[in-house]
Each structure stands twice: as structure tokens, then as C-alpha cells.
A and B are shown apart, each in its own frame.
Chain A
């Protein structure tokens, strides 16, 4: 933590510029404070590093390939690389974070793990590491999401997790997060809350960003080894809460010549009232313990967003990203449901890869940016499309 570099890391109070902090009820303070005091010490210890590196390599399958996409490159007249997070164990980048957090939880002597999940990817990644480490796992999931993501619910159960339906509010990710927070209030001593994105009270945004930063650290090495290039010209990632984007940007944030492109879910269109493009539609507010950009009414009530992709269907954005947006360090684009679907089908046909609907939003940005022949563009393919086959089948 330092005071100067507020673009990639927060200051001592957890702020990225004007965004961040820890807006939590007193009942959560001891837990969050315990984590805040210890997380940097734990994750920089040799024991943690050794165990985390081993798990990331042998269990999660890292490093994931950086694939030079020949056909896309030809089509867009530039050099396009896909960072293959879809090849991680459990099918998405989410496991990078859950491996890190389960080790932190064990270090803090917690024996009960809770998590929230939207599409179920983070829930599955949490259930997976809990099974591995033999810890009790409770995953909160909106009642509506349980209905629309049945295969992931089954996976979590097979992995031994208890899936608890969130029946409050709109019964989706936002409410699952509320329920997980309430669980933590009720279980203050033995429980660790594994938040799945770069959201929540400080130190979560920073901790999760650090665990996901392995993505950009590998991109850097691989570009150098495979193409002899020191820096990419563009890195592109989709943003809901923003964990894969935080990981993809992390080691490039302070290298101004690398263009950071975040792609939000426009849903049916920015101005249709059915969208999840938080930087376009949100205003400064507080959600789930941090100050950031939030989709809300003028009275400060949180608005339920819409996206075809459950992983981007979130009315907020991590404070790191809110700051990258307001400082103009990153450009924020958006892709509609239809554009994402088209990009997913296009990648399947052109490169033989079926992407997750979330990642398809990042791919959709390729046709929205003008690239030069000598550019080196990295797109984070954050997850695979198996979980989205029900949706894709409707459009076959």
C-alpha cells in the first residue's frame, strides 16, 4: 500500500482516488479489520507464495496460454492475442482469486467459507477450493439465478457446497451479495467471506485485484517470449464488478502507452432501461461497502440492471475501475446483448473457441476500435461458454 500510486492500488484508507473505503456496519468491522491488517503480510509470506504458486500451476492449470488468434488477426488487420482464462480449472479466471482467498482464510484460522454468486462461476470456484481444503462452504445465489443456472448449482452441490437461495429484493447477484454480508454479520468469528470480484469494503478490491493480477503478469512474460514484445498496445476485458479486467490491466496500469479498454454490458441498449453499463448510467454512491459508481435512482435506491450475461448483471463496478474511468486512464466501451452473442458465434466459427457470454462482450469491442497493423492487442477470454449453451442454443 502506498499513498502515491493510487491507480493500481488504494491508499491506506482503501481509496482509489475518490472511490473505495469501507462503508460497513460496526458488526462487520472486526472481520474486515482483521483482514485489512493481515492480508498484505499473509500474501507476501514465502509460505503463502509457495503454496499459491503450486496450486495455480498444478491445480488451476496456470500459466494459461496466450494464443495468437490468426484468423481474427487477419480479419481485423492487426495482431490479436487471446488470454485463455477459459482453460483454467472450473472454466474461468475466478479460481485465481478463490485459491488466494482460501489460503488467506486458512491462515486466519477460519473454518467456514461463504460466497455470493451470480452465474455460478465464482460459486463453483469457491466450492472447488473448499472441497480441496475440507472447509464448509455456503454459497448465496439469487433465487432467479438458481433457476437460470441449474448446471452450476448442480456442480456446487456435487462439490459439497450448500447453495442458499437469496429470496430478498430482486433475487439476483446484488441480493445474493446482501445475504452473504448478512451471514457474515451473524457469524463473525469462524467465517471468511470470499468475495468474487474487485468490489466490497477495503481491502477486498485490492486483495482480489492482486490475486487476479497473475493474468497480466503472464501476458507480459508471454508476449515477450512469443513475440519479442515488451508491451501490448491494447488490453481488452469485460467488466461487471471487474475482476478479470483488474487482473488483465493490473501490471499495465502504470504504463501509459498501453491502452486499457473495459467493456461493459449495454444489455438491450444503454438507454433502454435494460442495461448494466454502470459507468454510462451510474453516479457516485455506496454499494456493498465501497464508494464507487452505482446504478441508482435519484433517491439513492439501487436499480436492478440487465444483461444477457449473468456475470455482468451487476449495478456497480469496483472502485479501481471507477477511478480508471474518472481519471480517463481506461476507456470504457459497451456491447449490447446482441453484439455479444454475435461476437461469441463469430469466435466459435473463426477460431474454434466457444467463449463465455461475459468474455464475448470483450470480443465485441474488437470491431469498435481502430487498430494499426503493428498493434498487439490482448483480449482476456475470461471464461468458456459451456455454462451458456442454453442461451446459445436459442440462436443456433
Chain B
């Protein structure tokens, strides 16, 4: 069984998904961050594959991508790091990245190797749903990898249903019309969250973008199964002298 399915079977509320960029702040940081997140009770870890042109990301994650690339992070190295951690990390790991590096690696090989490295789901925000359905679905299915698609406040009902149909594990609900790490609260955001709550989807929803602390996390959890924190965590570990204790502090401050 896919670890994401196990998780959502067991836990319906307050699911905390933390994003970190592979190779940031140091090339081997995943080896510290992943166990620390698990120990502190994060439910899912979303590992970012660094890319030179991350168009859906705000300044904080952009900077972490640049730094990770300068540190020498690549998909083969990332998978190798995950492989070495897979016996000690039991919570689901999902990979988030832009399509181009994955295409260059080869999407079929990527799915196969991701599964081997213990990955449960994949988010590729610039992979159009139509293209996925036409070409890539079998590779995901064969490797029991959950494809996770995004919806935004502007997404039509028809497309929300399409995203739900194609996704498994969960659907990623972007909280506002923004790139990652923004403080923007759209007028009508509560309205949008209420709408999310009322949707009868087959998948649970996790809210991401702009979730940064206890208040925003709890607010999102009122309406959906949980939420995703990215930029705020990246910012927290940016200048950390001790990533393990910074991670512990950060998770505690969100969960308390």
C-alpha cells in the first residue's frame, strides 16, 4: 500500500506536510532534515528538486533552489540520498519539481527510480493534466506513485473534478493567487476554503502557499485534511547553526 494512502486512512485531520529543497542549505542536509522532521511528527515530507527557473516559486524557495544547484544537487544524487535514508524514514516522501529536469532524466526511469528510493508521490506543477493523462499515467501507476495535481482559487469546478480524478493521495489546494511564500490573503479566501470543504472529492485536500505558522496552519486545517509549509521552513533553516534543533523548534511552534 502507498504510504500516503496509509496515512490518510489513519489520520483525517491536521496533517502537516513540510517542504524542503534537496541540497539546501548544504548538499547533504536531507540526511539531517528528514529524520528531524519525522521525529518531530511531520506527517509528510515534500522534497523539492532544485531547478534553475522555478516559475511558481517566490524569492525564498528560488534562493534555496539556486543555492542547492550551486551545491551540486542533481536528480541522481537526490535519489541516492533518499535511498540511503529509506530504511529510517517511514513517513511518506513526495517529490516536487519542475518538468524539465525530470524529462531530461527520463520520466519513465524517474518513476522507476523514485519508487526504488521509497517515494510515494510526485508533484510536477508545470506538467499539464492533459499531457499527464495522454502520456505519463502508466509510468506512475506501474510504480505505485501518486500523482498530485494543483488547484487554485481560479480553478473551475470542472477542472477541480479533473484534478481530483487524475490525482491520488491528495489534491494540492493553492491558498491564493500567488507564488510560494507570499503573505497575500485574497479577499474571499475564507470563502474559497469553505468551498474546498464542501467539495465532495475522492481525494483529501491539503492547502499550501502562504501557510507559515500555527495560526495559518490551524486555519487551513479547519477546512481541509491539513496543510503544507514550505518557504517558512526554508527561511527557518537558512542560517541555522543546528538544523536538527531548528527543525524541532519550528515544528513545535506549528503544532504545539
Residues in chain A within 8 A of chain B (CB atoms) = 13, 21-27, 29-30, 168-169, 174-175, 178, 181-182, 185-189, 283-289, 294, 296, 298-302
Contact = CB atoms under 8 A, between A and B. Distances in A.
B149 A169 contact: no
B26 interface: no
Given A27-B152, A300-B105, A186 B53 contact: no
Interface stretch (B11-19, B35-43, B178-186, B198-206): B178-186
Q: For A25, A187, A296, which residue has the most chain B Cβ atoms within 10 angstroms?
A: A25
A299 B53 contact: no
A29 B155 contact: yes
Interface string B59-70: 100100010010
Q: For A185, A287, A294, which residue has the most chain B Cβ atoms within 10 angstroms?
A: A185
A13 B133 CA distance: 14
Interface string B116-139: 000000000111101100000000
B56 interface: yes
B52 A27 contact: no
Contacts of B66: 168-169
Contact of B104 (A23, A27, A187, A299): A299
Nearest to A31: B154
Nearest to B102: A300
Nearest to A183: B179
Interface residues of B, number: 41
Q: For B51, B102, B150, B152, which residue has the most chain A Cβ atoms within 10 angstroms?
A: B152
B100 interface: yes
Nearest to A299: B74
A299 B69 CA distance: 10
Interface of B: 51-53, 55-56, 58-59, 62, 66, 69, 74-75, 98-105, 125-128, 130-131, 149-152, 154-156, 159, 163, 174, 177-179, 182, 184
Contacts of B126: 23-25, 286, 289
B182 A26 contact: no
Contacts of B105: 299-300
A70 to B, nearest CB: 47
Contact of A29 (B59, B131, B159): B159
The 6 A-B pairs with the shortest beta carbon distances in the complex, nearest first, are A300-B104, A300-B101, A26-B150, A301-B52, A25-B125, A30-B154
Contacts of A296: 100, 104
A285 B55 contact: no
A191 B172 CA distance: 25
B103 A286 contact: yes
Contact of A186 (B69, B102, B177): B177
Nearest to B176: A186
Contact of B128 (A21, A174, A175, A294): A21
Given A26-B163, A287-B53, A168 B128 contact: no
Contacts of A288: 53, 55
A24 B143 CA distance: 25
Given A299-B104, A300-B103, A25 B75 contact: no
8 contacts: A29-B155, A286-B126, A289-B126, A299-B105, A300-B51, A300-B102, A302-B53, A302-B100
